[in-house]
Amino acid sequence: MNPLLEESYVQETSYSFPPESASVPQARHLTRACLADWGLHEHSTVAELLVSELVTNALCHSRGTIRLVLSFQDGLLRCEVEDADPSLPRACRARDDEERGRGLHLLELLSCCWGSARTSEGKAVWFELTANAIAA
């Protein structure tokens, strides 16, 4: 049996990033490396894309340190991005010619669930992928 699918299998790691554009590719790279360490290296494309979107949003709406938390338990990958802005994200409809405004729509389409919550230091936006979705 794959240990990733066993109920007792728990992994978690976190990374902090400065509020600069280089943090986006760095977050993608660390997500890919982490999933490879957890045996999910072939299935990280969706997670990398969505982490990229969340870190980009954090850069656009906050000025402080950005924190990425990755966890895997009971066949569920959870990716959470925390920033210092307490404003919760609101979905909007981007026009065809706009370069921004599609991140939350991608979360809705590609994750099994997502959400946001205020924290003592700002907010956290998260999404979850099932092991089956990661393997797709």
Instruction: Summarize pLDDT for 41-60 with one digit per residue, the tens.
Output: 766 999 999 999 999 999 99
The CATH homologous superfamily of the domain defined by 19-134: Histidine kinase-like ATPase, C-terminal domain (3.30.565.10)
What pTM did the predictor assign? 0.85
The arithmetic mean of pLDDT across residues 124-136, rounded, is 79
* Tokens coding 18: 């400065």
Model confidence band, residue 124 (pLDDT cutoffs 50, 70, 90): very high
Give CA–CA dist 88/7, Å, rounded: 32
In angstroms, what CA-CA distances link 110 with 45, 107, 124, 129, 135? 11, 5, 19, 8, 13
Mean pLDDT rounded to a whole number for the chain? 86
Alpha-carbon distance of 131 to 94, in angstroms, equals 30
Interatomic CA distance for residues 39 and 65, integer angstroms: 29
pLDDT higher than 70, residue 16? yes
pLDDT of residue 97: 56
Contact status, residue 61 vs residue 83, Cβ threshold 8 Å? yes
- Is the pLDDT score of 106 beyond 70? yes
Average pLDDT over residues 126-132: 87
